[in-house]
Amino acid sequence: MRKLLQIIIVLFTASGMAQLPQELLTATEKTTVFDSYVGSIYSNDDYQGATVVAEKTGTFKVPVRYNIFNDAIECEDGSQLYELAKTPTTHVRIGDDYFYYCKFKSERGFNKEGYYVLVELTDFYRVYKKYELDVTEAKAMDANTGAAQIAKIETRETYFLEENGTIVELPTNKKDLLAVFSDKEEALKEYMKEERIKPKKEEDLLKFVAKYNGLRNLDANPTRSLLSNRVQNN
């Protein structure tokens, strides 16, 4: 992550500020289908000052917001709404989140394309998170229970370990997380207990992956890959 910060700062300083060029933008319409729902389809309802790094064009400063439902980064020019071109050569920093448009594969070869937020960068692996939505539809009052259900949207974060374009989901349930790295399950279970690891906490999840990386390096014939010798359950 420190290397990433240094790269962005250098690009930002060298390129200066300007309005986004039109070739990076596509006109779009406001998403209204969830207007009556409790909750939001945005990671943040307000437009926030962001740094857009276009590798082929330059670095720009513009207010944007991330539309989770459309998996799009949006900005406005007057009354017109735009979304940023979805390309691996354009990256966006919104607050503390670094958004990259990635074209990953699951271990079974399925495409996993979209915006991912880089949260950990090492020489051997990366950890990303992805914002996703849980949508609950409204239900009328039940005559027997007297209970009704409102329409609502909730945001959740899903974490992934990535190596060489392949990703595996990192569950936030202890049992499921240990199953992902079953080749070191006993040692990791002891580590979880000693360090009181709570996978739902991002910091603890990153510590867990780092520990697994360390355990793999202690093998008699260590492999640099963290995604080999493990259960193929993704």
Q: Which residues sit opposite 77 in a β-bridge? A: 80
Distance between CA atoms of residues 209 and 172, nearest Å? 12
Q: Which residues sit opposite 99 in a β-bridge? A: 92, 117
Q: Is 228 exposed, middle or buried (0-12, 13-18, 19+ CB in 10 A)?
A: exposed
Distance between CA atoms of residues 115 and 96, nearest Å? 15
Distance between CA atoms of residues 146 and 168, nearest Å? 42
- Mean pLDDT in residue range 16-42: 88
- Answer for the pair 11, 4: CB distance below 8 angstroms, yes or no: no
Arithmetic mean of pLDDT over the chain: 87
pLDDT digits (tens, 9 = 90+) for 208-227: 999 999 998 887 666 666 77
Residue 72 CB: number of other CB atoms within 10 A? 20
User: Can you give the pTM of this predicted structure?
Assistant: 0.84
The amino acid sitting at 145 is: T
Q: Which residues sit opposite 50 in a β-bridge? A: 62, 94
